[in-house]
A and B are shown apart, each in its own frame.
Chain A
């Protein structure tokens, strides 16, 4: 991997958003991933989502672990600070960063090695703490940088490129996140930008822990005919349970949904998430029914995609532990250092 900066020239009439930024301004350096890698499509979807959300790019912190997916935070949002931490430990670094400044947008990208294996403990506790962040897991069922070992999200039905299968069941990150109390849980496919971009936008807007498990095929090591994380398999078995759109407060709400099948949820910042059910029986806000429903898809060999779960109560770590509204890293030292007066009282209490 080299650090290749993209050329700065661009079309003079490229559209700008309210931040005065073009789509190009949300890009990063040139990707060094394999041609056709699903992760690059996710990168493109993130760029599109951030542009459409008109995010001030420098107010986003990009957090990642180690692996192909974690490299991608360098490929978008050049005006943002990025933090490529250690393998599997992105959740703790993101939690700490979030504690220091609750006002930035935290966008975490990791892979299935980070999330389901070496860092599963950190992932679990970041979910449980409701750290206000969007966590995108670019899930390809394999360890790419070390040349194709199985990961813990690889299904038993799936074989590796040498034709061997794993003796172990896979870990379903979405099911686990729902169990643990994540507020926003979605699954998508890197090849479905129309589904992915609105999910990313809504996940960023959601206050609390948002997970998008994106099946993102590894073209080099896990895109063969016997893999369940290949482009072909996911396209054939994708079962979209619903369509999601994020409607900004300022935008006009389009009414092209079939009556009775759509539901609006207003987020804490006033924007609206519009969920259109494609599967009548699936209600993403009902925790009691979604896990059995997801199990039925699994048994039929289908990959359920879309917004799988939404907890309408938006609360994050800061609210749970009662930190002040002002970001901790901005509080003036005069408010932090008690001074000699209180120290005299402490001395007196220790005599």
Chain B
């Protein structure tokens, strides 16, 4: 390796064909780097297709801990002739492109290093079966990275052994392919590449997990027993993970498990079932994405108005309409905040990583039960489907589920009169009962029509207004008990700040550091829930301008901040990003710098920080 080699800070990208088995090989590389003690951020950039189209997998390695996506590829493993041209174009000058040179070709880039490995030929020499020839290509390029990039032999072999634990026959041929790639690169490639991985210790106490798995686990730990859903990218793996873990961790003595998972006929039925189950006292949820939310809207209004707890996971993708099903976006914010016709306002939780998908998933069930209302967990494709490095999940065994105000038979006997929708405690939250509880007390009629405080039908405008006002008061009361915004005062004197939420956080934090180095010190607030806590208003009050960064065209969160937190529009500078890719720090930095030039008095660097 050369003296200028950069260690442990690089982006490695794979360009492959979907359906060719490359996904597991690529994930293997991410996991190897993670096990080598390196923080990794892995982004799967895939088509809405089953087989044959280009697909990519980006791994950013950053010992310094920058986990946002970064443009500019240091090492491109280009295994798909369909995408050679654009793959080569993405490599940074001085970077490396590795390709299958069985068919040699030129890449029209004399500023990058091109490494050819005759992968198909090597496979043909060692295997006769056509399927094996195809599959082992993947392991050959992984093997080459041992020699070229410094993937650790021992870690790779250990992971392969673990991966095929249940199919031990596959271990040996995979190791063979790995070694073919490793040895070919070692023996035939002389020039070192500009970046390299070496062992570190930055991932102690960390795990690599997707948000959908974490959210599914959260539902399991929240005691959810009914999951009803309709398959839709990118939410599908959430319920699948719930079911997979439930089948192990909720197993009964006779081999069944304490959960019911039903794949519904559509999203309307999925949410209807969740509402029915929740009404009947089970913790129930559904998971979907934007198109599903649109279909569920009518039922969401029913749950809001009839005050039925409901947990919905919206793993957002590119809209409108079918949009970009396999790209990330945060464009369901307004749809969810006000889902359904009439006056409705809903609680949104805004996880910033898979770790928060777990904690907020558990919290969502408590909040839904406490406030008897729908609660949305607003994840997105980037958090939901990509593997993130997060702190180990933790659980406090003394935690009790908060099932809210539910009267059992004894409590019903003790009350003089039960009125389902009466505000007894002054907090706007009424008491509910479950069907089948008491022979003569506590039954009521659940309806989406306007109702009296005992659940009777009414067309009395005064009672209707009282009901709507009470529900509004109830939801407003929740604001103080939702996850608080994460506020980072980087300089108490700073007049500017960045506001964001969800998966954009790694890019925003990295961007803040870059701006900081250039003399623009800004404070930072990451929103974690809607309705907004008082802290959100106070933070806005304390700054002259706030850049509101969000992945949608119409600056939906900015709208919410204006209308629901009464923050003046001119103070809130919209920073929309809608290309469907995970946000980069470069985008944040460039957008903010450009905007600063238009803000009189703020464009000059406010403080130069010594490097």
A contact residues vs B (CB 8 Å cutoff)? 1-3, 29, 56-59, 61, 63, 73-74, 78-86, 89, 91-101, 103-104, 121-122, 124-125, 129, 318, 321-324, 328-329, 331, 333, 335-340, 342-343, 346-347, 350-351
Contact = CB atoms under 8 A, between A and B. Distances in A.
Given A96-B284, A333-B400, A351-B207, A81 B269 contact: no
Given A1-B457, A99-B273, A321-B262, A81 B401 contact: no
A97 B252 CA distance: 22
B444 A339 contact: no
Interface in B560-605: none
B225 A336 contact: yes
Contacts of A1: 457
A122 B249 CA distance: 32
Nearest to B460: A2
Interface string B430-462: 000111111110011111110010001111000
Interface in B258-277: 258-262, 264-266, 268-277
21 contacts: A2-B459, A56-B439, A57-B439, A58-B438, A61-B280, A81-B445, A86-B302, A92-B268, A93-B275, A94-B276, A99-B228, A100-B281, A100-B282, A101-B435, A122-B272, A323-B256, A333-B400, A335-B258, A336-B223, A336-B258, A343-B395
A93 B280 CA distance: 10
Contact of A121 (B266, B271, B434): B266
B467 to A, nearest CB: 14
A101 B401 CA distance: 19
Contacts of B223: 333, 336-337
Contacts of A129: 262
Contacts of B275: 85, 93, 96
Nearest to A335: B258
Given A86-B302, A121-B266, A78 B259 contact: no
A37 B276 CA distance: 29
A321 B221 CA distance: 22
B60 interface: no
Given A86-B448, A101-B281, A61 B392 contact: no
Contact of B276 (A82, A97, A124, A342): A97
B364 to A, nearest CB: 15
A58 B209 CA distance: 46
B444 A81 contact: yes
A86 B298 contact: yes
A91 B270 CA distance: 11
B445 A328 contact: no
A337 B401 contact: yes
A347 B260 contact: no
A57 B203 CA distance: 59
Contacts of A85: 272, 275-276, 302, 448
B448 A79 contact: no
Nearest to B203: A351
Given A91-B269, A351-B203, 20 more contacts: A58-B436, A84-B446, A92-B269, A95-B276, A99-B226, A99-B228, A100-B226, A100-B277, A100-B278, A100-B280, A100-B284, A104-B280, A124-B265, A125-B264, A318-B260, A324-B256, A328-B226, A333-B400, A337-B222, A351-B206
A335 B252 CA distance: 9
A43 to B, nearest CB: 15
A83 B444 CA distance: 9
Given A99-B277, A324-B258, A331 B272 contact: no
Contacts of A340: 394-397
Contacts of B457: 1-3, 74
Contacts of B269: 89, 91-92, 95, 121-122, 125
B178 interface: no
B268 A322 contact: no
Contacts of A83: 276, 279, 445-447
Contact of A101 (B271, B280, B438, B456): B280
B435 A61 contact: yes
B208 A351 contact: yes
B250 interface: yes
Given A61-B435, A122-B265, A96 B276 contact: yes
A96 B280 contact: yes
Contact of B280 (A3, A78, A92, A97): A97
B266 A328 contact: no
A92 B250 CA distance: 25
B435 A97 contact: yes
Contacts of A122: 265, 268-269, 272
B232 interface: no
A329 B262 contact: no
A91 to B, nearest CB: 8
B257 interface: yes
Contacts of A336: 223, 225, 250, 258
B302 A351 contact: no
A343 B394 contact: yes
A20 to B, nearest CB: 9
Contact of B439 (A73, A79, A96, A338): A79
B225 A84 contact: no
Contacts of A3: 452, 456-458
Contacts of B256: 322-324
Nearest to A339: B397
Q: Kindly name the residue among A58, A91, A94, A121 whose own CB sees the greatest number of chain B CB atoms within 10 A.
A: A58
B393 interface: yes
Contacts of A337: 220-223, 401
A89 B299 contact: yes
Given A93-B273, A331-B258, A101 B282 contact: yes
A124 B265 CA distance: 10
Interface in B178-219: 203, 206-209, 217
Contacts of B271: 92
Q: Kindly name the residue among B264, B401, B439 whose own CB sees the greatest number of chain A CB atoms within 10 A.
A: B439
A338 B220 contact: yes
Given A97-B277, A324-B258, A333-B223, A346 B217 contact: yes
Contacts of B264: 92, 125
B371 to A, nearest CB: 19
B35 interface: yes
A73 B420 CA distance: 18
A335 B280 CA distance: 19
Contacts of A100: 225-226, 276-282, 284
Contacts of B203: 351
B265 A125 contact: yes
Nearest to A101: B280
Given A125-B269, A337-B401, A339-B395, A104 B435 contact: yes
B299 A96 contact: no
B307 to A, nearest CB: 13
B143 to A, nearest CB: 23
Q: Kindly name the residue among B273, B278, B281, B435 whose own CB sees the greatest number of chain A CB atoms within 10 A.
A: B435
B573 to A, nearest CB: 38
A79 B409 CA distance: 13
A200 B395 CA distance: 50
